[in-house]
Structure 1
């Protein structure tokens, strides 16, 4: 007497059960290329909303499980790490991305790169998605508040760059020390009225720099104005430059190089000479800072190293007991690079 064929959870017999759907099946049903399906499911931000929705509906209908998720189900790891940057067009992040990419590749991991567009909502949504697709997340200059970051860290391994939150591993670039060097540099040139052109109010780096500068200025007996906030983009340089001129300060320290470069352009258009009339300092030493007219005095930081260190710290939590012992924080030194945008304070009647 022959045994009845066994059935699976969906009521199909083993003999008639369908093979698992492939990425090509999803592509055919949704009417797109397989590469588009891969992008939609791995880095959703790179695919427009309507196409992504169509692909996700097809994947659900076919009960498609991406390879990364299949590995996660079987081994507990995807061998992928998500790197979230606030603005992928900002050259500051180029070296961070390069550092994380090289360090992850050396460890046998894939990098998912996401531009969060300086949006808290995008950060939250991406972290939720990456819980199924990545083993951990590196957040560069996150805009989420401390409570949201702590909650996210309870759900998956997480490391921040340029953001200090108790209980979360972090890599910090010690830019406050170098901005104080910039202040001393300007004072040595005879400047006694200096302005700080601030960045986003939600930026931890912006807060740390202003606190350091305001304290140091008070200790040194010079006037320090806080102007802004301004967007950390070149286009904000117009408003920042006008505010600097109106303030009467003879020197300015900008939140980042992009803003400072925009300021140089605006000051030139107004006929304000740099550094003869106003001195200017940037921050980050991005590619192109030394090509400006005049070349930009700026804060230089080991940005690529920050990306590498962040990966090392994250992998030590993904794979505890393997390799180096987990560190809770790493602070990397910075320094002032002096170029042609700073000079002696102008003589005032």
Structure 2
């Protein structure tokens, strides 16, 4: 009832004024409050009473008033905008990272802006530099640029990294060791003694990390590991690795990510190789669609949404001067067994 009365007092939604001519003082006059109260209500929700905030927002809507983040940044030095850079917007692995980061940003009253690098370290650094001018902080998801470039960005404004570890930069990295250990035990229990690894991009820190941990676990389990040449982290990249996988004489293959695993499976099946009868395939990340393949893909599930959420929350805490230790985040990986793995071929 209170909301209806407020809207009636301010007129109908059709009686609007062009937003360009409306100022915070017009909103304050219509709402019957001070301009500073309008600023608190619109820029930092919860700083005024709920009734007053509703009245101010109703006035702003009636007048078609929009907060200008650039103008707001002049007295405060903050835009309430935060940036996110991903290496490939078409890669499903980033869907949940983006959702998690967006949820954390929205809950803190920030607007998220997004750009991609198309797997280019040069474009990534260039676009990050450009974005950094307009945001309060930046989250880099699985970045391809060098540690030195990331550190240079972090010297300018708060920066956080997800799926990569950079010294002296806030980094949120899932514990991939647990999931890889489970995958190796799973393959060993099925009699596999020779495994091939298809790495992702040469510039990918996570590709190297997964390869190193896989080598350690295979050595411990007395499994021979054959590391193949890096490929693009795409379905096409997986297809391109099929000949090398076949020639490796491995009975199982571990792919850097699910897209590579899916492309590899497609190419192998088309050449008459049966999965998992002739070769078992394991992916990584458990992206949307990993269970759509035939057979469904066995993969190491990574907490992608939680990683994006935690990394953004930690970044915004740093933007506001608070401190959050990334070590406190529980981001374990785990094996999801489906139909693409089975007993080693005899």
Please report how far the alpha carbon of residue 103 of structure 1 lies from its aligned counterpart in structure 2 after TM superposition: 1.3
Question: Over residues 240-281 of structure 1, what are the superposed CA-to-partner deviations in whole Å (9 max), with x where a residue is unaligned?
Answer: 122111110010000000011111111110000000000000
Question: Over residues 129-161 of structure 1, what are the superposed CA-to-partner deviations in whole Å (9 max), with x where a residue is unaligned?
Answer: 223210000000111111111111010000000
Match of 1:170 in 2: 171
Distance in 1 (CA, whole Å) between partners of 2:123 and 2:137 is 17
Distance in 1 (CA, whole Å) between partners of 2:253 and 2:132 is 43
> Structure 1 residues 262 and 307, CA, compared in 2 at 3 Å: closer, same or farther?
same
Match of 2:195 in 1: 194
Distance in 1 (CA, whole Å) between partners of 2:133 and 2:264 is 43
User: Which deviates more from structure 2 when the two are superposed, residues 69-78 or residues 206-215?
Assistant: 69-78
Distance in 1 (CA, whole Å) between partners of 2:291 and 2:319 is 39
Match of 2:112 in 1: 111
Distance in 1 (CA, whole Å) between partners of 2:215 and 2:308 is 29
Could you state the TM-score of these two structures normalised by the residue count of structure 2?
A: 0.78
Mapping of residues 142-291 of structure 1, within 5 Å = 142-291=143-292
SS at match of 1:82: strand
Asked if the contact 1:171/1:331 (under 8 Å) is kept, the reply is: no
> Among 319, 322, 325, which residue is 1:327 paired with?
325
Question: Over residues 164-222 of structure 1, what are the superposed CA-to-partner deviations in whole Å (9 max), with x where a residue is unaligned?
Answer: 01100111122233122211111110000111111111111111111111122122222
Match of 1:98 in 2: 99
Match of 2:12 in 1: none
SS at match of 1:298: strand
User: Which deviates more from structure 2 when the two are superposed, residues 279-288 or residues 172-181?
Assistant: 172-181
Asked if the contact 1:161/1:171 (under 8 Å) is kept, the reply is: yes
Match of 2:142 in 1: 141
Distance in 1 (CA, whole Å) between partners of 2:148 and 2:188 is 39
Match of 1:345 in 2: 344
Distance in 2 (CA, whole Å) between partners of 1:295 and 1:266 is 15
Distance in 2 (CA, whole Å) between partners of 1:336 and 1:218 is 19
Could you state the TM-score of these two structures normalised by the residue count of structure 1?
A: 0.78
Please report how far the alpha carbon of residue 328 of structure 1 lies from its aligned counterpart in structure 2 after TM superposition: 4.7
Please report how far the alpha carbon of residue 331 of structure 1 lies from its aligned counterpart in structure 2 after TM superposition: 5.6
Distance in 2 (CA, whole Å) between partners of 1:211 and 1:137 is 29
Structure 1 gap ranges (5+): 1-21, 23-65
Please report how far the alpha carbon of residue 82 of structure 1 lies from its aligned counterpart in structure 2 after TM superposition: 0.4
Question: Over residues 275-307 of structure 1, what are the superposed CA-to-partner deviations in whole Å (9 max), with x where a residue is unaligned?
Answer: 000000000101111111000000102111111
Asked if the contact 2:83/2:132 (under 8 Å) is kept, the reply is: no
Distance in 2 (CA, whole Å) between partners of 1:208 and 1:166 is 15
Match of 1:31 in 2: none
Asked if the contact 1:172/1:331 (under 8 Å) is kept, the reply is: no
Q: Does 1:122 align with 2:123?
A: yes
Please report how far the alpha carbon of residue 123 of structure 1 lies from its aligned counterpart in structure 2 after TM superposition: 2.0
Asked if the contact 2:85/2:128 (under 8 Å) is kept, the reply is: no
Match of 1:72 in 2: 73
Please report how far the alpha carbon of residue 69 of structure 1 lies from its aligned counterpart in structure 2 after TM superposition: 3.1
Superposition RMSD on alpha carbons, in Å? 1.6
SS at match of 2:291: helix
Give the number of equivalent residue pairs: 281
Distance in 2 (CA, whole Å) between partners of 1:257 and 1:328 is 26
Distance in 2 (CA, whole Å) between partners of 1:72 and 1:92 is 33
Asked if the contact 1:168/1:328 (under 8 Å) is kept, the reply is: no
Structure 2 gap ranges (5+): 1-19, 21-66
